[in-house]
A and B are shown apart, each in its own frame.
Chain A
Amino acid sequence: MTDTADLAAELDTVVRSVPGVITLYPATPLAVTLTRAAAQTVAAVVESVVNSVGSVVESVAGTVGGDVDPRTPSTPSRPLVSVTTGKAGLSASARIRVGDTDSATNVCRLAHDAIAAHLDARAAPIDTISVTVASIH
């Protein structure tokens, strides 16, 4: 994995450990993710056809199957926290579900603070940290 992917995986764990966070949702809806995966698959297929007809099936399966593990939707194979690199530093984004016993606004701030603390510990420059409460229950 790249450094960004490693960091996203770490932040995934960090956010899940915040009291009041029930689960994470993908930063982009799965339907969009699958559409992108499909586009990647098409590209992979075209490339594979050029290189070797025999590698097409394996390429398609690898691209789609590696995106989301359908058996354990709460722990997908890719972290659900998104990390990107911009000119001013890193941008991290998380969409969370919170329980209704804790204040959603407080949990949202706690999730932000946990991400910020983790990035500070790694001396990573921060551009933005986005946390969205997508459901409360």
Chain B
Amino acid sequence: MTTPNTPDSAADLSLSDDERAHLDGHTIEELSDYLDRGRVPADPSIDTSAASQIALASLARLRDAMTSLLQHEADQAPVLDESWVTAIMDGIALDARSGRDIPVSHPSPNARLAITEGAVRGLVRAAGDTIDNLIVGRCRLVGDVSIPGEPITITVDASIYRGESIPDLANTLRDALYKVLTAHTELTIAGIDVTISTIYLTRPDPKTDQDTP
């Protein structure tokens, strides 16, 4: 496991201090409210902010996952740990900020091309959230992403259903992340470390489902 040595590590300790700066003047709660209102009335300061848009996309996926979970768990274990949801939302806020610029190569000496770290984290989160029974909590790019060819380790915290195979889901996640990262970036990926940080709720018992009319 690589020790995080990026500015992300310090940011973990002080999310509330400059969360508005991370999200171009908004908090994750304000973005969640905006999503609740169906993004109406339109707020240009949100709609023209890349960080806010990345966070909104993550919030929307989290909301879909939560809705699905609650429907499945309503008759089984309706105790939802709110701190878990808060942690996920904090992770969304941290991951959405622009962060460092990751260079994109071009033969022209006049070209200054880059992908923001926030865009890549959003991509990683989106890819992870497409995997059934898994929700991405945090994502970090460990290493100096501003140097082309520098080995970078991707670290991802994720939550899964109790009862799922942790190694299987971790491998599925690694494969999905490697695929999108190689498709969209020029990062030299040294490794993808997956940590299952939370195992939440319980999966519905298929027998119970079948017995239900």
* A contact set with B: CB distance below 8 Å: 25-26, 29-31, 34, 68-71, 73-74, 76, 80, 95, 97, 100, 103-105, 108-109, 112, 116, 126-137
Contacts and interface: CB of A to CB of B under 8 A. Distances in A.
Interface stretch (B8-16, B110-118, B154-162, B200-208): B110-118
Given A31-B45, A76-B48, A104-B115, A97 B53 contact: yes
B45 A105 contact: no
B48 A130 contact: no
A91 to B, nearest CB: 9
A109 B113 contact: yes
A136 B122 contact: yes
A5 to B, nearest CB: 19
B44 A68 contact: yes
Give the 9 A-B CB pairs with smallest separation, nearest first: A134-B50, A31-B25, A73-B47, A130-B112, A104-B184, A133-B115, A73-B44, A29-B24, A135-B50
B86 interface: no
A20 B126 CA distance: 18
| Chain A contact residues, majority secondary structure | mixed
A127 B119 contact: no
12 contacts: A30-B25, A30-B44, A71-B42, A76-B48, A100-B184, A105-B105, A130-B113, A132-B115, A134-B118, A136-B123, A137-B57, A137-B126
B185 A104 contact: yes
Given A30-B45, A116-B108, A134 B186 contact: no
Nearest to A134: B50
Contacts of B116: 132-135
Nearest to A70: B44
Interface string B89-124: 000000000100100111010111111101110110
| Chain B contact residues, majority secondary structure | mixed
A28 B118 CA distance: 16
B185 A105 contact: yes
Nearest to B126: A137
Interface in B126-159: 126
Nearest to B183: A103
B113 A31 contact: no
B126 A100 contact: yes
Contacts of B98: 134
Contacts of A116: 108, 110
A30 B49 contact: yes
A68, A95, A136: most-surrounded residue (chain B CB, <10 A) = A136
